[in-house]
Chain A
Amino acid sequence: MLPISLFVVAFGAAFGLAAVQKGLAPLDTILMSALVFAGAAQFAAIDMWGAEVSVIPVMVVVFAINSRHLLMGASLYPMLKDVAPAKRYGVLLVLTDANWAVAAQDYQRGNRNLEVILGGGLVLWLAWIVGTWLGVYFGGLLQNPKNLGLDMVLGCFLLAMALGGKKSPRILVAWASAALASLAAWKWLPANTHVVAGALAGGVVGFFWLEKKPGKETAGKTPT
């Protein structure tokens, strides 16, 4: 989580700077990061900021960008279903891309790693708040984080997680469908729908093409 946290601090600083430039008060900016904790959605909302803010468009954009959480949460259900509701939803409070990706990969290998969601999530949450705070009071930390390739940390991380998982013909077909569907949605559907479109396309492949299990194993039971 450490390299990701550094990226999150830099990204948070960029957000803090952008928010105060849009006229948001420093404390409000930090409060937003602490409560909302969703970088891309916050950037998009700030983009729509002014003397007056239209509520419905902001809600739609925030929901669309964060709708990937719905699928991420659904994918965690098998490992959360036996957890008490308070703990289950408590862990989900800090659900975000990076800690989810690690937990999902661990679960594929048969480990139920709730600690990485909670611990990793808290670290990322703190990094996001600290980053925002730095950006609000000290401006962007780096003149141009792109020059250092920092904008690619999360993308590279998620790609490494995907490629570290199981690769069967079934998975590769699902990935190809996900890639095509997400590109098509990105090109032709309303903005911010591509992640959900691609993920569902990949899921449909899994729905119709079941993994062949060795005879001894009972279907549908994953090892814990």
Chain B
Amino acid sequence: MTIETTTTGVLILILIMTLVTLVTRFGGVFIMSFVRINPRIESFINTMASSVLIAIIVPMAFEGDAGALAALSVTAVTMLVLQKPLPAIGAGVFAAAALRYLF
């Protein structure tokens, strides 16, 4: 099925994308409201939460250039040392910019 990108066609496509995205935004909470929460489920949810972040970042590091790798490593080290997000993010972004400027 295809939709022509006429004025109405584009609007329909935008609405379809909106609905699909809304299903993903609402779906997780909606499904969980039918699940009985026990300690095991709660433990699953909690470890899954920070694992989402890892699963976004690790392929990003492998896919990225040296600048991306530098940004993530510098952020990691700064964060572990200082425990403050803003300096860690700043240092990471600066590292990427500096490395890309130099090489």
A residues contacting B by CB (< 8 A) are 3, 23-25, 28, 31-32, 35-38, 41-42, 45, 49-56, 58-59, 62-63, 66-78, 80-81, 88-89, 92-93, 95, 97, 101, 104, 108, 146-153, 155-165, 170-171, 174-175, 177-179, 181-183, 186, 194-207, 209-211, 219-220, 222
Contacts and interface: CB of A to CB of B under 8 A. Distances in A.
Chain B interface residue count: which class? Answer: 35 or more
Interface in B59-77: 59-64, 67-68, 71-72, 75-76
A52 B4 contact: yes
26 contacts: A25-B10, A36-B21, A53-B2, A68-B52, A69-B21, A75-B46, A77-B45, A78-B37, A81-B37, A93-B22, A152-B67, A152-B96, A153-B89, A155-B61, A158-B56, A159-B53, A160-B75, A164-B85, A179-B54, A179-B58, A183-B58, A183-B62, A186-B63, A199-B48, A205-B47, A220-B37
Sorted nearest first, the 8 A-B pairs with minimum C-beta distance are A202-B51, A198-B55, A73-B28, A206-B47, A203-B48, A149-B96, A178-B51, A77-B32
Contacts of B17: 32, 35-36, 41-42, 45, 58-59, 62
Interface of B: 1-5, 9-11, 13-18, 20-33, 37-64, 67-68, 71-72, 75-76, 79-80, 83, 85-86, 88-90, 92-97, 100-101
Nearest to A83: B29
A170 B40 CA distance: 14
B59 A182 contact: yes
A198 B33 contact: no
B21 to A, nearest CB: 5
Nearest to B74: A156
Contact of B38 (A59, A200, A206, A220): A220
B76 A163 contact: yes
Most buried by A among B14, B21, B47, B71: B47
B4 A182 contact: no
Do most interface residues of chain A lie in helix, strand or loop, or is the interface mixed?
A: helix
A203 B39 contact: no
B42 A160 contact: no
B83 A88 contact: no
B47 A219 contact: no
Contacts of B68: 151-152, 155
Given A152-B92, A170-B47, A89 B53 contact: no
B1 A54 contact: yes
Contacts of B10: 24-25, 28
Contacts of B61: 155
A21 B100 CA distance: 27
B55 A220 contact: no
A63 B24 contact: yes
Contacts of B32: 73-74, 77, 81
